[in-house]
Amino acid sequence: MGRHALPAAPDAAVSAAADRPSVADPGALRRPRGRRSAFGPAVARSTFVEPSRRTSAVSLSQHRPLASTAGAGTAVLSRSAALRAERAVDPRHIRRAANAKRAAILLAPALAVTSSLTLAVPANAATPSTDAHHGTTTSQQAQEYTVARDVQVPVVSTDGMTTTTTVVSYPTIVTKFGVSTQQAEDAISKVLSAGGDRATIVSTALQYMGDPYVEGGASHQGIDCSGLTMVAYAAVGIPLVHYVPTQDAAATTIPESEAKAGDLVVYDNEDHVGIFLGDGLVLQAPHPGDPVDIVPMYSAAHHFARVLPAGA
């Protein structure tokens, strides 16, 4: 045996080699369609070795229940109930609850007093408001009346040579919002002493002083704002429609500096009209529940309108 000679194969190896196809036979080497060819031992291609380690199974734990039990046979508490129970013993929660209770006890009398308070405000648009837009304003007290009865107003007339003083009596004069009877008498006296159509307009309107307000009325049984101006101007032969916007359209708007007694004072929104007396006073039929009265110049937005011809 030479140095590089291989030892003889065992009988089992010889028999296996004998079964291997020879190279001289090409058909034996062709691999069948669809199979992998290999020249390894047939045992290596067909033997399945079972793994020695067993496969471990992992089980998922169930969700932890939100409810807690006090013990066997006890009722299950919900999570919100458990949280409430924890807050009940929390010193901070106890302190906050006590402070809130003390605050409620202290504030209860104040809330009871404020809930019983009422505000005195003007009854409607005809009542002067506290927001002045333009014109003369005075301090006003809501629903304050001054009623003077058997009022005697001196009227001074002159013909250029002699001066005559006549006393005109009115059954009543009603003033409101701080206007005194003396202020009303002075304004009326100036208008009547001047004479002319303006004196007639004011004198006619004064005859309705104290009569009740009735919407659409134009008599002593009841009269409204445009009804009062209508009957007053009818006394001088000027017909006016019983409607504020129409009366305003028939008049000429003038600045306050040119206004004279007997001119109209109209709300800018055309919702109310009165008769200017001069000295910052207005004669009007205000609203339901109040009689014809004399009030300070309107604080609400207004303008002056003249119906009489120029120079009258």
Average pLDDT over residues 223-243: 97
φ and ψ at 158, to 5 degrees? Answer: -140, 145
Q: Which of 177, 162, 234 is nearest to 200 (CA)?
A: 234
pTM of the model: 0.54
The predicted structure's pLDDT at residue 292: 95
Place of tokens 């011809």: 309
Cβ neighbours around 270 below 10 Å, total: 14
- pLDDT category, 75, cuts 50, 70, 90? very low
Alpha-carbon separation of residue 115 from 43, 57, 94, 104 (angstroms): 104, 74, 31, 16
Cα dihedral sign, 240-289-185-168: positive
Residues 6+ apart with CB under 8 A from 250: 240, 241, 307
User: How distant is the alpha carbon of residue 193 from its chain centre?
Assistant: 52
The predicted structure's pLDDT at residue 91: 76
pLDDT (tens digit per residue) in 3-27: 554 555 555 544 544 455 554 555 5
Regarding predicted confidence, which is higher, 272 or 110? 272
Residue 264 has pLDDT above 60, yes or no: yes
pLDDT (tens digit per residue) in 130-178: 333 333 333 344 456 677 766 777 777 776 667 777 776 767 889 999 9
Place of tokens 């932890």: 64
Pick the most confident of 16-20, 72-76, 112-116, 283-287: 283-287
Q: What is the mean pLDDT of the chain?
A: 73
Residue 118 has pLDDT above 60, yes or no: no
Average pLDDT over residues 124-133: 38
**Rounded CA separation 284/292 (Å):** 6
φ and ψ at 178, to 5 degrees? Answer: 90, 0
**Rounded CA separation 93/226 (Å):** 68
Residue 229 has pLDDT above 80, yes or no: yes
pLDDT (tens digit per residue) in 178-206: 999 899 999 999 999 999 999 999 999 99
Percent of the chain past pLDDT 70, that is, above it, reads 56
**Rounded CA separation 141/129 (Å):** 10
Alpha helices in the chain (DSSP H): 11-19, 26-29, 42-46, 79-88, 91-115, 181-194, 196-206, 225-234, 244-250
Q: Are 195 and 215 in contact (CB under 8 A)?
A: no
